[in-house]
Amino acid sequence: MIFDYMYKTSSAGDPGTLYQLKCKLNRKDVNEKVTKAFHGCESFFSTVLDGYVVYAALEYFGMASPDHSPSKNLPRRGPEGSSSLFEKVGEMVDKFVLLEVQPETELLEDALQDDQSDESQTCHRCRYPGCDKMYVHEKRRNNREINVHGKRIEDHQPDRSPPNPKDEDGIFNYSHNILKTGLLLRDSQDAIKEGDGGRMEYLWKFLMLMFKVCGKTKYALAAIRLHAQLNALLTPREAHSLRWNRTINLKGELEEMFP
């Protein structure tokens, strides 16, 4: 899915892109159409993901190569506090994969402020000093300011235009997409091998959104149907069976049955 969008034959000269790495590694088993070479594309994408994870670790811990010792963000022990390697890896994931998001409380406060600002704009007060005249229509208020007070008063509002794509860090965004989608796929594969029905149900919620965004309507509907069955349509006994009997072992490892 994400492979189709990020694998571009025109990016042969761009280091780190999927097609450039495919050419560098001479992976002839990789095809632009994943359905024509599924196993080759999956193996190649897994290799690229491992490379990006290693590079992120080298960057975060200040290492020139995997053979060097870390020079920053080391686990510490002392009177001021201690941290473990597990915590440091979590911080690395937050920096390169999850990124910094706005807390839910701040989002709620922003939404409330927007609602209040919208309500305050329903009545337009004359902006001339000392004038408290109110108008329902903004145009009438502006006409009063010009005709009565002889002044045109401009609002100084922040620029809400969308960001210019040229100002974005395209290389970082590309790498971030590989990391977050690759780790989601890796987590899904691990859940299938472990037969973890609860984790598979949780991951299918994220996959449903990705299918929708990428235009894979049938897969998105299949994900919706799965959650509808688990949470509403089936009896508790049938839902439990569907949740924990979604894998089958045919060749020595578990495979997930399509919802």
Q: Taking residues 81-103, what's their average pLDDT?
A: 77
User: pTM here?
Assistant: 0.67
Q: Does any domain span residue 227?
A: yes
Distance CA 173, CA 39 (A): 26
Are the beta carbons of 124 and 136 closer than 8 angstroms? yes
For residue 57, pLDDT beyond 70: yes
Task: Summarize pLDDT for 132-191 with one digit per residue, the tens.
Answer: 888 777 777 788 778 777 777 766 555 555 555 555 677 888 888 888 889 999 999 999
pLDDT value at residue 105: 52
Q: Is the pLDDT of residue 224 over 80?
A: yes
Asked whether the beta carbons of 206 and 184 are under 8 A apart, the reply is yes
pLDDT at position 122: 58
Please say if the pLDDT value at position 32 is more than 90. Answer: no
Of 2-6, 210-214, 216-220, 228-232, which gets the smallest average pLDDT?
A: 2-6
Mean pLDDT of 43-49: 91
Residue 166 in domain: no
Q: Kindly state whether residues 65 and 51 are assigned to the same domain.
A: yes
Structure tokens at 249: 């072992």
The average confidence (pLDDT) of the chain is: 80
Q: For strand 134-135 and strand 247-249, is the pairing parallel, antiparallel, or unpaired?
A: unpaired
The pLDDT value recorded for residue 86 is 85
Q: What are the pLDDT digits (tens) for 104-120?
A: 455 445 555 555 554 44
Instruction: Tell whether 6 and 90 lie within a shared domain.
Output: yes
For the beta carbon of residue 7, count every other beta carbon within 10 angstroms: 20
Alpha helices in 11-147 (DSSP H): 18-24, 38-61, 85-93, 104-120, 138-147
Which comes out higher in pLDDT, residue 100 or 9?
9
**Shared domain check, 20 and 76:** yes
Domain membership flag for residue 250? yes
The verdict on 25 and 90 lying in the same domain is yes
Decide if 222 contacts 230 (C-beta within 8 A). Answer: no
Structural domain count, the chain: 3
Asked if the model's pLDDT at residue 128 lies above 50, the reply is yes
Please tell me the number of Cα atoms within 13 Å of 107 on its side-chain side: 4
pLDDT of 65 over the 50 cut: yes
Residues 183, 195: Cα–Cα separation, whole Å:
18
pLDDT for 104:
45
Residue 127 is assigned to a structural domain of this protein: yes
Q: Does residue 17 form part of some domain?
A: yes
**Judgement on whether residues 94 and 111 belong to the same structural domain of the protein:** no
Does the residue 27 lie in any domain? yes
201 vs 254: which has the higher pLDDT: 201
Residue 78 banded pLDDT, cuts 50, 70, 90: low
User: Which percentage of the chain shows pLDDT scores above 70?
Assistant: 78
E strand residue ranges, the chain: 124-125, 134-135, 247-249, 254-256
Please report where in the chains the tokens 């794509």 appear, as a residue. 165
Q: Which of 37, 68, 98 corresponds to the end of one domain?
A: 98
User: Residue 123 belongs to what domain range?
Assistant: 104-147
